[in-house]
Amino acid sequence: MAFILISLHVAAAAPLSFTGTNISGGEFCHPKPGVPQVYGKDYIYPSVNEFNYFASKGMNVFRVPFRWEVLQPALMQPLDPADLSRLKAVAASATDRGLIVILDPHNYARYYNDVIGGPKVSDAAFADFWSRLSTEFKNNPRVWFGLMNEPHDMPTADWFNAAQAAVTAIRNTGAKNRILVPGNGWTGVHSWVQSGNDAMLKLTDPANNYIFEAHQYLDHDSSGTHPDVESATIGSERLTAFTDWCRRNHKQALLGEFGAASDSKSKAAVDDMLTFMEKSPDVWLGFTWWSAGAWWGKYMYSIEPDNLNDKPQMTYLLPHLHGVPLVATYRLGPPV
């Protein structure tokens, strides 16, 4: 009996429009006033080869962390020319091939450990930073502006005021780029409402081109510091309330950080979460995994390839990446 080859596209929700990863390294330094950070020694930005590798897997959006203090060593003063040049080159190397770059000041709503909105770091200083940065990138719509990584331990009203000041400053430059607005409370999905983030609904954007950025890990305390996930369905469980909140308030979101280890339970939990998101494309525009980057070494969530070999997590992300169809091939009947 002859055999028949059948190629099946698995019936499932389509991948989200924007799927990718963080590429870490720019945030690895710990700046101190008056102490210059050395590029290539204290911090590093993504390489062209990294963008090429991840794009070949179907990723099209990349969150690029950096330190505010490195890019702007003094408040209300010009951006550092050398670091700005590096960051612009990094962005161009991705956006020139149609990819999206999210600029991410990875500072937790601090500048040299002083909180935004406090006596040392005013909302005006934060707005000044974003005015200068958006001016440099406003002609490249493939660059998105992530206002800040994980504000925390501050009044939500203070974070709202800072975020609104930054959005207003960005639009005053004429920039129409998409803005990603995090919430307070580490921008955690699981605690979004409890952290008072209803206040963020008051934000106004003249360009009406902002979405919320939220983060969610799958370990028992949602910290992303443990290898074990809470359960195989913890992702969808933790995302449900936030997804409903967005839908009720006609808002959209991107999952800016999530990650898990390489065991089978973690695989199931990630698949459950991403499948849940794919069924809610009215809310979820996409995601960026935490994380990739050449300096991670043996970090348990890293998807940086090892001597050109895929990490296990990359294998189970593939069905959820934009433009990579999940195809299974079956043989029916024995060969002749």
Task: Report the distance separating Cα 45 and Cα 84, nearest Å.
Answer: 12
Are the CB atoms for 247 and 284 separated by under 8 Å? no
CA 238 to each of CA 227, 252, 257, 294, 312: distance values in angstroms, whole numbers, following the listed order: 18, 17, 14, 30, 24
Q: Of 50, 150, 213, 230, which is the active-site residue?
A: 150
Q: Give me the catalytic one of 50, 69, 257, 304.
A: 257
Identify whether the C-beta of residue 93 lies closer than 8 Å to the C-beta of residue 51.
Answer: yes
136 is catalytic: no
Measured over the CA atoms of residue 237, residue 241, residue 252 and residue 13, the dihedral's sign is positive
Contacts of 263 (CB under 8 A, 6+ apart): 227
Burial of 108 from C-beta contacts in 10 A (0-12 / 13-18 / 19+): middle
CB 75 within 8 A of CB 128: yes
Q: Which of helix, strand or coil describes residue 134?
A: helix
- Give yes or no: 257 in active site: yes
Q: Return the structure tokens found at 118.
A: 């406090």
Length of the chain equals: 336
User: In whole angstroms, what is the distance from residue 52 CA to residue 94 CA?
Assistant: 8
E strand or H helix at 63: strand 61-66
Q: Which two tokens stand for residue 100?
A: 């999206």
Catalytic residues: 150, 257
